[in-house]
Structures are given as C-alpha cells and as structure tokens.
Chains A and B, each alone.
Chain A
C-alpha cells in the first residue's frame, strides 16, 4: 500500500463501523492531541527565548512571552489533558460497568465546550496580550492598567466554558455510575455510594483484622471505576473554585468596562491565594494522582489479565488520597510570610508528605501486580506504563523535597518545581500513562485498526521518554542555579542548561509529530473526517470483555 493511499484511507480503519460511544471518544482524543501539539510548540518558543536563540524579536517582547506562558498551561492541562482523560473515562465507565453512557449528546457537548473554551482563552492572549498567568494572583487579572478589559473578559469566558464542559463530564460520569441497569439493576444508590467511596474496601480490611468474613466479596464497582468516582469529586470541587474565581474577575472587569471600577483592595490577596490554591491543588494533588493511580491499576490488570494485588488496600488508599488532597494546598504558600505557621507546618509539610505514601503505595501495588504475572512481553502499552511509573517516581519526591519550609525558601518559584516536578509529572508520568491507555484501548475503540508502523511507535516512545526526562532534568537544574520560573531572561543567563533543555524539548515535539503521523496514517484523512460525522450506530456502550486485552501480552 502506498504512502499516499495510507494517508487518505488509513490501514483498515472504517469509521462507519464505529458506534456513537466510540466516535465521541475519538473526537475528544483527536482534539486533545492537536492541543498537545500546540502546547509543545508554545513550550518550545519559551525554551528558545530562554536559550537566547535567534528567533523573531517579537517572541522576546514581555507581553508576548507572558501571554504564551499564560495560555500554555490552559491549553496543556485543559485543552489536552482534560480532554484525553475525560474521553478515556467516558468510554471506560460504560465499558467496565457494562452499562450505556448516560448521554452521548452531553459527551459531545463536553469536548466541544472544552475545545471552544480553550480556543477563546488562547485567542484572547494571542490578540490582546492578556497575561495574568494561570495562577491569577489577585489583583493582577483585574489590573486594567496592564491588560485589556475585552481580552480579560474573553479569557475568563473561555475558562468558564472549559469548567462548564467539566461539569458536563462529571454529570455524565455519575449519572452513568448510578444508572440502575444491567449488572447494577438490583443495586441501591447506597451500595453504589459505599463502593464508590471505597468504604467497602475499608470495611473488608477492618473485618479481616477482627477475623470476620469480608463485608463484600464482590464490590459493586470495579477498582478503576472507584478511582474515577473519587477523582471526579476533586474535579468537581476544582471546577467550582475556578468558576468562582472566574466570576469574581469577570465582575471586576465588567464594572471597569462600564467606567465604574470596583476597589480591588476589597479582596484580600492572601485569602484569595488560599482559596485559589485549595481549588487548583485539587488538580495537581487530587484528581491527577487519583486518576493516575486508578489508571495504573486498570492497565496492570488489563495487561496481565490478573486481579490487582492488595485490592482492598488500594481501594482504601484511594479514599486516603482524596482526603489528603483537600488538605495540602499550603505547600504553595510556604513563601507567604502572612500565612499562619501552623498551616505551613501541618498542611504544607506534614499532610503533603502523605502523598509520598499514597503514590508510593500505588506504585508498589502496580509493580507487584505486573511482577506476579511474569513473564510478560514488552508491548508499547507495557513500556509506556513503566515510563509513567518512572515519571511519577521522579516527580513526586521532587515536590515533596520542596514542600518544606527550609527548602522552599531557596527553591520557591524557581524552574525546579515547574520542571523537575510539574513537567516530569505531566509529560512523563501522566502522558506516558495516557499513551499506555491509548495503546490498550486503541483496538477496542477503533474496531481493531492496524497501527501503521511499530517502528514509529517505538521511536515515539524513546524520543518522548528521553526528551521528557531530559528537559525536566536540565531545566530543573537551572532552578537549582537560581533561575526563576515566571521570569524573562534576555541576556543568555543559564544558557547552557537552557540549550540542553531546548534540545530535549525538541525531542518531545518531534515525538509528538511522529505519533500524530502514525495515527493519521492508520486512520487516514477520510477516517479522520469520518470520526466527526454522525454515527450510524447509536449504541452508547461497548461490550468487549476486558480479559481479551491480556492475551496479547502473554509470552
């Protein structure tokens, strides 16, 4: 088959054979990876500026540079990661519970709202230079002496649309879980709630300690669904907090636009920081860690075809992670001298340290589950899963080290936290886990479409892994040398490390292009367009037995 033929028709992909659930999943996946490309290009522009590269002078203008820095996490976290995670979960919950998704229309609205919202936020930064950064530290987002009122309103409306889409996802997930059809026909809401919060796992452990029979031998919800259930609690709280902050900024901007500006001093900046970080941290230290742990458990069981090691402990640990995620936000405020010392000590240091325990436990359970099933064949999905484990193995301790009053004094707001922690957690830890899920779900969601090239798959893996870890390491080292994260350097300071980080960043960008090329050559341009055409088969569920995935991994 010629390259051109592949490009147009793909391998054996037939979009007409896909049902409504498969199509809506793939639509969000396509948008997610397009946004990933955008975020990688944005990141590279910033890397090139910091490496003092000979690129057009406009990129060195502070207004331009910081508008890129403002939308970079919006596009990356919401436009790409949220879309991909939401798509995977809106497919997995019906798949694992063997029930239809509550609403395909709502699932379509979710990816459309997030796509439009992300695009609006991006456009406002690009055209008006609105650049308060994702932290939105009060009163900067309402500072109309520096930013355009119109740009601010468009940006906030964009973020609000993303959050409305997020609420749509949450409603769809819970409505699906609580539907009393199929295997859950005879379950009560109470039984599903107990299972969703992992209370059955705790009661099983408690009964075991007392020598009594287990509370339940077959929990109502599978463990990955429990992780989705619990992570989605944080997703909801986070959406409410960001929406609340957005409404506050919007009110100030609208009053300003009418010529009657409100007093920004009426809002306490430190109190606002506490409110905002409480919500924003539910993403970083809540839903991401819970969703990732659940994804590891799912992938380990699908890849090995075996039960998860210490399942009751895993269920209980997910509950612990949820509680921990509500109490750790003060580690972002260790450099704020007005923050009460007890909050720094308890929330910022001690409770935050529990994340080492919960994430270490998830790592341990996943590794033992894989180990017990050996020998296994190293397939892309297994390799990416191991890459994801490496990512969090590196990123979580990097953050725990800084969540300390002594270390934070000399590391706060440096490149250490954003690269050695955030970028390695997202690019390596989270995305490699998601790539593993993509490869596991690929045959299921595309009706066994043959991947165009295995060589490209492996090239993507290695370029991505080495580039992701390398960029995080070199830029993180620059942080140790005093390089600030939200700062513009125009005189070639930290040049050597920035050049090395830029080389590694280029590897990530090239890896993304190879991945995209491989996917397009597999589904073809016709197939790609077909994904966005209405599905002939309106089925909102998928009934393949999960066990079949494991057969591909047996040696």
Chain B
C-alpha cells in the first residue's frame, strides 16, 4: 500500500478518522447509558489494563511506522540532501512579493523537483494547491542568514505522480499586507503556476 498523492492520503484519513469519531462518541454514550442501569450489566468484553496500554503504545508508534512505509515523501524529505532532483527552482520572497520566481513551471510525470525558497524579511509559507483548493504540499519559509550573511534555505523535494495545475499560496500568515486592503484578495497567490503533464489518468508515468 502506497499513497501516491495527498488526495489519496486525505481520503483515507477522512474515512478512518470519521469511523473512529463515531466509535468514541458511541462508546461514551453507551457507557453513560449503562451507568444509569440498576441491574448489573454483564461485561461482554474484558479489556486487560496492560492490553489497553499496549494498544495505545502500538497505535502511537504504529501510526508513524505505517506512514513511513506508505507515504513516499517522508523518507524523501529526510534524505533530500542526498537525492539529486530532476529540476531545481530557487527564488526569494520579500515584502509579500515573490522575487525571481519563474512565471510558470511545467513538470513531467514522475519528476522529482526541488523548491528552495528564501525569505528576506518575514516568515512565509510555500504551498502548492490544486484548482479545487486541495493542498498538494507545503513548507514554512523562515527568514535568516548564516554567518556569512547568505540567506537560509527552505528546501523541499517533491515528486509529481498525477497530472494537474497548481497555484502557489503562502501558507503562513505574514501580516495583513499580504491582502488587498479593500477587497481582501490574496496578493501573494500565483494562479496556475505549475503544470504536471504526461501521467496516466489514475497516476503514474504513461
């Protein structure tokens, strides 16, 4: 099992958490009802204390083991400095404006792209969003320099496995100046900045 895009992962997460939410609400409601019953309710399931603790530990640790093995961008992110990207885009941001950002980027299916964004003043974010508003990925863009005064990198590798057109949105609040004071429109949003081509309909290279 592997999630090749955020959409698949979010759909899985949505179903799993919704089932859990209904389950926990039902258990507490059932528990509350049985608290009031005068006759003793026979225990249908006996949960040993250490079994319960073991279950919590397994869920806490198992969750990360599961995601590490099913979400490809986790290991890619950890090892990103040892992976050679297919293309690299480096640009900056200052005073709520993207600087030296390419006007448009086209990515071939399956390519691994490096985005390296540097901030000259505030904390911003860099996120790619599909045309229906769903998020493909994001990172924080922190300002700062090294001892030589060179701006700090905020870099991420991303592999695109599905065709699509993506907007760029700053995913961190950097003050009201990001927006048009009258209309409230986001002035940092770059519409249809990145296009992915060459994938099969259900994802993956043709």
Decide: A353 near B14, CB < 8 A? Known: A133-B173, A409-B73: no
Contact yes or no, A139 B121, CB < 8 A: yes
Decide: A477 near B14, CB < 8 A? Known: A273-B142, A356-B59, A406-B73: yes
CB distance from A204 to the nearest CB of B (A): 17
Give B63-90 as 1s and 0s: 1 = Cβ < 8 Å from A's Cβ atoms.
1100110110110011000000000000
Decide: A269 near B123, CB < 8 A? Known: A356-B56, A361-B53, A406-B74: yes
Bound form: Cα–Cα A62–B145 in Å: 30
Decide: A354 near B60, CB < 8 A? Known: A335-B138, A410-B6: yes
Bound form: Cα–Cα A457–B52 in Å: 35
Bound form: Cα–Cα A412–B142 in Å: 15
The reply to whether the CB of B197 lies closer than 8 angstroms to some CB of chain A is: no
* B interface: dominant SS: mixed
Contact yes or no, A393 B172, CB < 8 A: no
CB distance from B54 to the nearest CB of A (A): 10
Decide: A413 near B21, CB < 8 A? Known: A406-B73, A406-B74, A482-B129: no
Chain A residues with CB below 8 A from B140, complex form: 333, 335-337, 412
Decide: A338 near B133, CB < 8 A? Known: A63-B176, A410-B6, A477-B14: no
Contact yes or no, A401 B17, CB < 8 A: yes
Bound form: Cα–Cα A405–B52 in Å: 26
User: Which one of B14, B123, B174 has the greatest number of beta carbons of chain A within 10 Å?
Assistant: B123
Contact yes or no, A139 B122, CB < 8 A: yes
Contact yes or no, B123 A407, CB < 8 A: no
The reply to whether the CB of B42 lies closer than 8 angstroms to some CB of chain A is: no
The reply to whether the CB of A167 lies closer than 8 angstroms to some CB of chain B is: no
CB < 8 Å: which of B74, B121, B144, B182 contacts A405?
A: B74
Decide: A480 near B13, CB < 8 A? Known: A393-B28, A409-B77: yes
Contact yes or no, A394 B60, CB < 8 A: no
CB distance from A311 to the nearest CB of B (A): 14
CB distance from A343 to the nearest CB of B (A): 12
The reply to whether the CB of A390 lies closer than 8 angstroms to some CB of chain B is: yes
Bound form: Cα–Cα A487–B175 in Å: 10
CB distance from A195 to the nearest CB of B (A): 24
Contact yes or no, A414 B28, CB < 8 A: no
Contact yes or no, A378 B35, CB < 8 A: yes
Contact yes or no, A386 B172, CB < 8 A: no
Chain B residues with CB below 8 A from A494, complex form: 133
CB < 8 Å: which of A376, A393, A473, A481 contacts B134?
A: A481
The reply to whether the CB of A493 lies closer than 8 angstroms to some CB of chain B is: yes
Bound form: Cα–Cα A493–B61 in Å: 36
Smallest Cβ-Cβ distance to B134: which chain A residue: A482
CB < 8 Å: which of B125, B133, B155 contacts A413?
A: B125
Chain B residues with CB below 8 A from A404, complex form: 63-64, 67
* A interface: dominant SS: helix
Decide: A146 near B175, CB < 8 A? Known: A265-B145, A338-B142, A390-B28: yes
Bound form: Cα–Cα A338–B156 in Å: 10
The reply to whether the CB of A3 lies closer than 8 angstroms to some CB of chain B is: no
Bound form: Cα–Cα A5–B1 in Å: 68
Give A133-152 as 1s and 0s: 1 = Cβ < 8 Å from B's Cβ atoms.
10101111001011100000
List, sorted by A's number, 21 A–B pairs whose CB atoms are closer than 8 Å: A137-B122, A139-B121, A139-B143, A269-B123, A335-B140, A357-B53, A357-B60, A361-B53, A370-B31, A375-B38, A386-B28, A386-B31, A397-B17, A404-B64, A405-B74, A405-B78, A407-B71, A482-B134, A487-B171, A487-B186, A490-B185
The 4 A-B pairs at the shortest CB distance, nearest first, are namely: A353-B60, A406-B71, A486-B173, A62-B179
By a beta-carbon cutoff of 8 Å, the part of chain A in contact with chain B is 60-63, 65-66, 129, 131-133, 135, 137-140, 143, 145-147, 265, 268-270, 273, 310, 333, 335-338, 341, 349-350, 353-354, 356-357, 360-361, 364, 367, 370-371, 374-378, 382-383, 386, 389-390, 393-394, 397-398, 400-401, 404-407, 409-414, 420, 469, 473, 477, 480-484, 486-488, 490, 493-494, 555
Other than the known A407-B13, A412-B171, what 20 A-B pairs have Cβ atoms closer than 8 Å?
A61-B182, A62-B178, A63-B176, A143-B122, A146-B176, A269-B144, A356-B56, A357-B60, A364-B52, A393-B24, A400-B63, A401-B17, A405-B77, A405-B78, A407-B71, A413-B125, A482-B135, A487-B186, A490-B184, A494-B133
